[in-house]
Amino acid sequence: MDSMAFKADEQAVHPRHGIVRIVKLEARTFGAGPERQYYQLEIPTGTVWVQVEDYSSGLRQLIANKDLAAYRDLLASTPMPLAADHRQRQNELALRLKDGSFKARCELVRDLTACSWQKGLNDSFSFMLRNAHHAVCAEWAAAAGLSIVEATNEVDALLLEGRKTFEQAS
């Protein structure tokens, strides 16, 4: 297991499943394909196998507790305005989600939250915000060693700080 980027029992972030636990690295064959190296991931609803060489899977390291200070600043910063055109805004937000980084998710939460202060969000953007907010809070909790409730309270308090600077600038 020494050649893998992840170690057994380590937490990681999967773009679709959120916080996962790396169970092990194993050579597997699925279907008629060749034998390849896979990470076995434990998710709340079961097991997922991710090919080690599949960089498009988006599996990444959990953010470090020491890096949370920068994300506190980001969430409390003045939100960036979103494109006025619905399609352009949808595309920009989809690109942020595709990025998969914690920074991109924090920016999306900050900016969509600010958009909701000005006018209500449609169902699609509300869904996107809820999912991104949950993902940010879950990773925040895991990195900081907090409960999800404590992490959510901290993230929401930071967003409120950003709202003050946003309203002063408007």
Tell me: pLDDT of 135 over 60.
Answer: yes
pLDDT tens digit string along 43-55? 989 999 998 887 6
Q: Which of the two residues, 135 and 56, has the higher pLDDT score?
A: 135
Q: What is the CA radius of gyration of the chain?
A: 18
Tell me: pLDDT of 57 over 80.
Answer: no
Q: Which two tokens stand for residue 87?
A: 């399609």
Handedness of CA 96, 13, 126, 163 (dihedral sign): negative
User: Residue 56: pLDDT band by 50, 70, 90 thresholds?
Assistant: low
Query: How many CB atoms are closer than 10 A to CB 95?
Result: 11
Amino acid letter at 69?
A
pLDDT at 68: 97
Q: Which two tokens stand for residue 20?
A: 């996962």
CA 145, CA 140: separation in Å to the nearest integer? 8
Q: Which two tokens stand for residue 44?
A: 């709340």
Q: Helices 148-169 & 102-118, crossing angle to 10 degrees?
A: 60
Residue 94, phi-psi category: left (phi > 0), alpha (psi -120 to 50), beta (remainder):
alpha
User: Residue 2: pLDDT band by 50, 70, 90 thresholds?
Assistant: very low
Chain-centre distance for alpha carbon 160: 20
Tell me: pLDDT of 167 over 80.
Answer: no
CA triplet 7, 9, 12: central angle to 5 degrees? 75
User: Residue 3: pLDDT band by 50, 70, 90 thresholds?
Assistant: very low
Average pLDDT over residues 156-169: 86
pLDDT tens digit string along 66-113? 999 999 999 999 999 889 898 999 999 998 888 889 999 999 999 999
Tell me: pLDDT of 1 over 60.
Answer: no
Ordered structural domains, the chain, with CATH: 11-61 (2.40.10), 65-169 (1.20.58.1290)
pLDDT tens digit string along 5-19? 899 999 999 988 899
